[in-house]
Structure 1
Amino acid sequence: MGVKFYKSILMQRAKDMKFKYWLPDENNERQEHETDKNAVIIVGANGSGKSKLGAWIEQQSMDLVHRIGAQRNLNFKENIPLRNYSQSEDLVFYGTDNPDSKANKGYRWDWGKYTTKMMDDFEAVLSAILALKNEENDAFVSEYKKSKESNHNMPDPPTTAVDKLLAIWDCVFPQRKLYICDSKFYAVLGDQKYPANQMSDGERSVLYFASQVLCVPKDKILIIDEPEIHLHKSIMNTLWTTLEQYRKDCLFIYITHDINFATLHEHADKFWIKQYNGVKWVFKKIEKDINLPENLLLDILGSRKSVLFVEGGKFSCDIRLYSILYPNYYIIPCGSCEQVISRTKAFRETNILHHFEVYGIIDRDFRSEHELEIYKAKNVYAINVAEIENLFITEEVVRFIASCFGKNENDIFSEIKNYIVKERFEKQIDSQISKSVLYEIKYRLSNSAIDGRNKEEINSSLKNFISSLKYEDIWKEQNDKFQNALSDDNYKDIIKIFNEKNLSSAIGHYFGIKNKEYIATVISMMSANEVNKKKFVSALTSYLPTEIPRN
C-alpha cells in the first residue's frame, strides 16, 4: 500500500481516536474494520489458522504492522550488546540493520517459515530498550543545554523507555523488582538478586513482551499471536492492559484460543473464528449488546458442539448424568429451571449461534402437561420422571445395575419397588397431592392477568381470578392422578409424579453398597466401561425427551 494512504490513516486516527485494521472476508478479500478501542481479540480453536491469520494481517501492510509470533525463544545472554537506537529498531522491526535486507520484512521472518519460524530477538529487544533510553536522555541533555544557553525554562527530565519498563514490571510483579545496571538485567526478590536470563518463563515473558511493545516505533498495529504463552492467568490481563495504556498510539490485535483472556479483557472488540478451510476464514463479531454471559458464549463457540442447558450446579449429578446421555452436546448447568428456560431462549435468539442446536432439559417436578407444552415451544423439554434422581431408580436401571453386581434382577427390583411404593409413596401421598395442588395454583397465579390502577380494580381482578381458578377441580385432578397411580401399582407412573429427591439415596444397600454412594457408584461404573455405558443409556432412552436428538 502507498505511504500517503497509511499517513492519511494515521492522521485520521489521531483526529478522532479511531483505529483501522483489516480482516479477510469470506472471499479472502481485505475487509476494513474500525474501532475506538486500542485492543481487538480474535479467538479461535486449535487448527483454526490463527498464526496464518496473523501473517495475513501483517502482509496487508508490512510497514504499519508489527507481529509478535507464537514461537518465541526466551533465552538470551547475560550481557546485552549495546547498539544505537536506529540499529536496534531495525533489528526488532525488520530482523536486520542491513538496508538491502529490510524490504518487506522478508529477512525477519524468512518467507519459507513465515508462520513457524522461532523468533530469536530477545537480545535485540533488550538492546533496543537500552538504546531508546540513551536516545531519550541524550535528547533531554541537548534540550537542557539549549534552554540554559537561551535562559529559557529548563525541561523536565523524560520518562524513558526503561522507566516505563520498570513501572510496568512493578504492576505485574509488585513483590519483586527489576534492576538494570549497564547492559545487564536482574530480578530482585528481597535480598536475592539473580540475572534476568535465569528468571522463570513467566518473568522472562513479561520482560520480553513489555520491552518489545515499548521499543516498537510509533503508531503501529501490534499483532500478538498467543499472548497467553508462559503467562499465568493472574498476571496476563494485568500485563496487556498496562501495555495498552503505555502504547495508546498502537492498536493491539491479540490472536488466541484462551477464552479466559478474551473474557477478562472486557474493553476489547472481539471476533470468533467460526470456520477455516486451510485457505479462507469465516468470522463472527461478538457484539456487546448480546444479553448473555460473554465467557459462556465464548465457551460454546469454542466447543463447536450443540448446546444442552440443564438444571443443577457444576458438580451436581445432572451434568454428570447428562454428559453420559448426551455425549455430543456441550452440557451447561444453569441451577434452576427458570435459568434453563431463559438461557435457552436467549441463546436461540442470538444470531451468532444460529448454526448451533440449542436445547434445554428440565425435571418434570409437579408441572402439568399444559405447562410442559408451553416450554416445548421454547425448545425446553422435560424428562419422564419427576426428578433427575428418579432416573437411577427406574426399573430398567435397577435391573441393569443388579446384573452388574451379580444379583438376581427380579428379587432386587421387587424389593426396591416395594420400598418406593409402599414405604415411601403410599405414606407420603397426601403430602405429594398437597404440594402438587399448591404448585399448580402458584403457576396459574404467576401467569394470571391480575391487574388494576387502584385498590378497587386490583381487588376485582383478584376475585375474578379466584373464581376462575376452580380450586376443587384442581384438587380432584391431582388427587386422581396420584391415587390412580397407587391403586394401579404402576411403578413407572409413580416415579413420574413422585417428587422426592432422596429416593435414589436410600436404595444402595439393596446392592451391597452405602446408600449415599449409589448414584456416584453408578456414574463411575458407566464412565469406566463403554459397554456398560451403552446399556445404561439404552435403559434410559424411553425416559428422555424424543425431541432432543442424541446422535
Structure 2
Amino acid sequence: MNVLVSTDWELAGSFDMPSGNEVIAKVDIPNPTGKFPLELKAGNSIVLAGANGAGKTRLGVFLEAACPADKVRRIAAHRSLVLSDKISAISLDRAMKGLQFGYIDGEAGHRTGHRWQNKPAVALLNDFEFLLQALFAETSRVAIQHLESRRTSPNEPPPETVLWRLKTIWERLLPHRKLRLQELGILVVPDAASTSDSTSEYPGSEMSDGERVIFYMLGQCLLIAPGSIIIVDEPELHIHKAILGRLWDAIEAERNDCSFVYITHDLDFLVSRPTATKLLVTAYSAEPRWQIESLPNDTGLPERVLSELVGSRQPILFVEGRRGSLDTTIYQSVFPHYTVEPIGPCEAVLHAVTSFRTNPSLHRVSAQGIVDADGRSEDQIAYLKGRGVFILPVAEVENLLLLPSVFKELALALHFSDLEAGDLLAKLTIAVMEEATKDLEKASVRFAVRKLDAELKKLAPAAKTIAELSQKFQASVQSLDPAALANDYKARLSTAIQSKELEKVLLLYDNKGLLSIAAQVLGYKSREELADLLSRLLARNDAPIKAAINAVLPTIA
C-alpha cells in the first residue's frame, strides 16, 4: 500500500511501506521481576487487557514516551468528539503538527504540554479540528498537484486522497449513509437505496457518536506517518459491537505498515482480534511498574474465559450452566471468596479445572469445580474429587432448595411457623414422589443415554488411527448394555421413591421442573417468582437460607 503523506508532511509522491514484521520499536516495561520486553512490529497488533484500575492507561502513556516522538500516536479514551462545521484552512504541515503535538508550530517537546496539558494520563484529548484541517489540507494539496500535472498529462487519472479513502471505508461500514464532501465541510446524506427520503441530510456536526468516532478513528490512522505506532485506549468506545471488529480489521488492512497497541477492558474486543498478541495487565505501582503477562494460547479454553480469569485475585470456581441463571446466583452467594465462572457441561468444568492446574502459565491460579451428581458411582466421585471437581448432593443444582434442611429454612424465611414448615415439607415430599413415579421410565432412559454418550465421547481422544477407533468402538459397544444401565437406575430410584427418601430421590432424579412444584407448595405461581425471592434473600449477608445451602454443599479445599 502507498500513502500520499510523508514523514515531514511534505507531499513527495508515494512512499513504500515497511515490510511486514519489521521492528519499529523495542520497549522494556518495568515489572516486579525486572523487565517485560515488548517488540512493536509493522503489521502486528497487541491488545493490553485488564480490569479498571490495573494501570493500562498509564502503560499507554509509558509506551508513548518510550517510542520515537515522530513514530507514535496515542489516542486517549478521554477524547472529545465535537466535530465543527466551521473549519479554518491551514497548511498541511501545520495541521499535522497540531494533530501530533497539540500545537500548529509545535515539535516533539511540545506534546506533553500542549496535546496533554501536562496530564497525559487524564487530559481530555481535543484534536478533532486538527484532524479535519489535516484531511482537507491534504485533499487541497493533492488536488492542486493533480491540476498542475493535468496541464502536461491531460489523461492522468485522479489520485486518491486520504479523505476519499476515509469516505469509502466509512460508507462501507455504514451502508445506509453517504458522506458528501464540500470545500471545508461534510454533509451526511441517506443512501438512496435504503430510504425514500432524499432530503434528510445533515451536517457532520450532527453525526451520531458512533458515526463521529468511526470518522475520527479512520482519520487518525489513515493520516499517520508510515511505519508508526498507533496506541488506542478503549477502541470500542461508542462503536456498536456489530461494526467494531470490522472497523479495526479495515484500519489494520489499510495501515499494515504500522503497529497497533489497543488498551481495553472489553473482552468482546479482545476476542475480535484473533491474530493479536494478548497481554494482561493486572496491577500497577508508582515506581512505575506493571504486573503484566502474556495470555496463554494453548489451553483449549475460550479466550474470553482466559482473559477474564487469569488475572483473578480470587480462586476460581468453575460450575455448570450459564451466566445469569439461578444456579450461578446460588454459587456466587455461598462462595463469595471465589470467582464463579459458568462454563457449560460437566466435561467443560473438568477440562477448565485441569487446564488451570496443569498449564505452566496458569497453575498459579487456584481453580476448583462443582458439577451435578448425575447418578455417578462412588469411584467416579472419588476420581473427580481427585481432579479438583466436587459433586453436588442433587442431580440438578436448583433442587438444592428442595433438600429438607434448605426447604424448611426457605419456608421459615416466608414467615411460616416451624409446624407449618414441617407440613409443607411433607406435602413437597409427596408431590416429588408422585412426579418421580410418573417419570420413572423416561428418567431411566435419560440416565442410560447420558452414560452411553459419556462412554462414546472417550473414544476419540484415545484412538490414533481409524482401525484403532473402530476396534475401541466395537469393544465399547460390547461392554455396554443400555437396558442394564436403565434397569439398574430404575431399581435405585424406585427404592428411594418407595421409602420416601427425598434426599435420595433428589440425588438420582434429573428434573429441573421440581422447583416449580416447590414454588406451588410454598404458595407461588411459578418457579420464576420463587427464584426472584431467593435472589433477594441471598443478597443479605446474614440470611439463614444462605447458611442452610452452604451446609449441604461439598466442602471445597
Name the TM-score, length of structure 2 as normaliser: 0.82
> What amino acid maps onto 1:409 in structure 2?
A
1:140·1:157 contact (CA, 8 Å) conserved in 2?
yes
Maintained 8 Å contact 1:41/1:253: yes
Q: Secondary structure at the match of 1:80?
A: coil
Q: Is residue 432–residue 517 contact of structure 2 (8 Å, CA) maintained in 1?
A: no
Taking the aligned partners of 1:244 and 1:280, their CA distance within structure 2 comes to 30
**Aligned position for 1:245:** 253
Q: 1:405 aligns with which of 411, 414, 425?
A: 414
* Correspondence for 1:513: 524
**TM-superposed deviation, 1:221:** 0.7
Q: Which residue of 1 aligns with 2:31?
A: 26
| 1:207-226 deviation digits (Å, cap 9, x = unpaired) | 22222222222221111122
Deviations 1:222-279, CA, capped at 9 Å, x for gaps: 1112222222223322222222222222212111111111111223222111222342
Q: Check the 8 A contact 2:102/2:110 in 1, yes or no.
A: no
Most deviating of 261-270 and 440-449: 440-449
Determine the structure 2 residue equivalent to 1:135. 141
Distance, in Å, in 2 between the alignment partners of 1:394 and 1:200 is 54
The answer to whether structure 1 residue 120 and structure 2 residue 143 are counterparts is no
- Residue pair 1:12, 1:18 contacting (<8 A) in 2 also: no
Counterparts of 1:458 and 1:238, CA distance in 2: 46
Identify the residue that residue 175 of structure 1 maps to in structure 2: 176
1:332 maps to a residue whose letter is: E
Number of aligned residue pairs: give it: 527
Which residue identity does 1:205 align to in structure 2? V
CA distance in 2, matches of 1:520, 1:56: 49
1:366/1:439 contact within 8 Å kept: no
Is contact 1:37–1:268 with CA below 8 Å preserved after alignment?
A: no
8 Å contact 1:391–1:397 — kept in the other structure? yes
Is 1:216 the counterpart of 2:228? The answer is no
Q: CA deviation at 1:57?
A: 0.6
CA distance in structure 1 between the aligned counterparts of 2:178 and 2:487, rounded to whole angstroms: 77
Shift of 1:160: 0.8
Distance 1:125 1:452 in 2: 62
> How is 1:39-438 mapped onto 2 (pairs within 5 angstroms)?
39-60=45-66, 61-98=68-105, 102-103=108-109, 105-110=111-116, 112-145=118-151, 155-189=156-190, 190-278=198-286, 279-301=288-310, 304-314=313-323, 316-407=325-416, 408-421=420-433, 423-424=434-435
Rg comparison, structure with higher value? 1
Which deviates the most, 489-498 or 60-69? 489-498
The answer to whether the 8 Å contact 1:18/1:36 transfers is yes
Question: Which residues of 2 match residues 495-506 of structure 1 at below 5 A?
Answer: 495-506=506-517
Q: Distance in 1 between matches of 2:438 and 2:321?
A: 28
Q: After superposition, what is the alpha-carbon deviation per residue over 1:116-143, rounded to whole angstroms, capped at 9, x for unaligned?
A: 2222221111111111112223333444
Q: Distance in 1 between matches of 2:340 and 2:538?
A: 16
Measured at CA, do residues 454 and 254 of structure 1 come closer, stay the same or move farther in structure 2, by a change above 3 Å?
closer
| Alpha-carbon separation, structure 2, partners of 1:489 and 1:538 | 26
Question: What is aligned with 1:526?
Answer: 537
- What's the offset of the Cα at 1:96? 1.9
For the residue of structure 2 that corresponds to 1:355, the secondary structure is coil
Q: What's the secondary structure of 1:296's corresponding residue?
A: helix
CA distance in 2, matches of 1:171, 1:186: 16
8 Å contact kept, 1:310–1:334: yes
Structure 1 residues not aligned, in runs of 5+: 4-10, 149-153
Structure 2 CA distance for aligned equivalents of residues 237 and 456 of structure 1: 43
Tell me the alpha carbon deviations over residues 525-544 of structure 1, each in whole angstroms, 9 at most, x when there is no partner: 42454433xx1121122321
Amino acid in the other structure paired with 2:396: E
Aligned pair in 2 of structure 1 residues 492, 65: CA closer, same or farther (>3 Å)?
A: same
Question: Which structure dedicates a bigger proportion of its chain to helix?
Answer: 1
Alignment of 1:440-459 (within 5 A): none
**Residue 295 of structure 1 aligns to a residue in which SS?**
helix
1:503 to partner: Cα distance:
2.8
Distance 1:258 1:483, change over 3 A: closer
Displacement of 1:167 after TM fit? 0.8
In the alignment, the residues of structure 2 paired with residue 137 and residue 218 of structure 1 have an alpha-carbon distance, to the nearest angstrom, of: 21
- Seen in structure 2, the aligned counterparts of structure 1 residues 191 and 417 have a Cα distance that, compared at 3 Å, is same
Cα 1:197–1:455 change in 2 (3 A) is closer
Q: Aligned equivalents of 1:195 and 1:59: distance in 2?
A: 37
Q: Secondary structure at the match of 1:531?
A: coil
2: CA distance between counterparts of 1:92 and 1:442? 62
Q: Secondary structure at the match of 2:398?
A: helix
> Take 1:522 and 1:310, find their aligned partners in 2: how far apart are those partners?
22
Cα gap change, 1:41 to 1:13, in 2 (>3 Å): farther
User: Alpha-carbon deviations, 1:323-347, whole Å to 9, x = none?
Assistant: 3222343333333222222333334
How far apart in 2 are the matches of 1:103 and 1:415?
80
Identity among equivalent positions (%) equals 26
Aligned residues of 2:279 and 2:294 also touching (Cα < 8 A) = yes
- Assess if the C-alpha contact under 8 Å between 1:23 and 1:57 holds in 2: no
Shift in CA distance, 35/341, structure 1 to aligned 2, threshold 3 Å: farther
Rounded Cα–Cα distance in structure 2 between residues aligned with 1:475 and 1:210: 63
Q: Are the counterparts in 1 of residues 187 and 203 from structure 2 also a CA contact under 8 Å?
A: yes
**Partners in 1 of 2:16 and 2:338 — Cα distance?**
47
Alignment-mate amino acid for residue 206 of structure 1: I
Residues 229 and 258, structure 2, Cα contact 8 Å, conserved in 1? yes
Q: Over the residues paired in the alignment, what is the CA RMSD in angstroms?
A: 3.8
Distance in structure 1 (CA, Å) of the matches to 2:44 and 2:213? 22
Q: Which residue does the alignment assign to 1:545?
A: 554
Contact kept in structure 2, 1:26 and 1:280, CA below 8 Å: yes
- The C-alpha deviation readout for 1:282-321, integer Å capped at 9, x for no partner, is 2222244442222232233476543322223445432232
The answer to whether the 8 Å contact 1:62/1:104 transfers is: no
Provide Cα deviations, 1:410-454, integer angstroms capped at 9, x if missing partner: 222233334445x45677778877876887788678769999969
For residue 158 of structure 1, what is the amino acid of its counterpart?
Answer: P
- Please state whether the residue corresponding to 1:113 is helix, strand or coil: coil
Which whole-Å CA distance do the structure 1 matches of 2:17 and 2:178 have between them? 36
Letter matched to residue 84 of structure 1: S
More displaced stretch, 404-413 vs 156-165:
404-413
- How far residue 388 of structure 1 moved from its aligned partner, in angstroms, is 1.7
One-letter identity of the residue aligned with 1:127:
Q
Query: Which residue does the alignment assign to 1:8?
Result: none
Contact 2:355–2:362 (CA<8 Å) still a contact in 1? no
Question: Structure 2: which 5+ runs fail to align?
Answer: 1-6, 8-14, 191-197
Query: How many angstroms does 1:58 deviate by?
Result: 1.0
SS at match of 2:88: coil
CA distance in 1, matches of 2:473, 2:219: 72
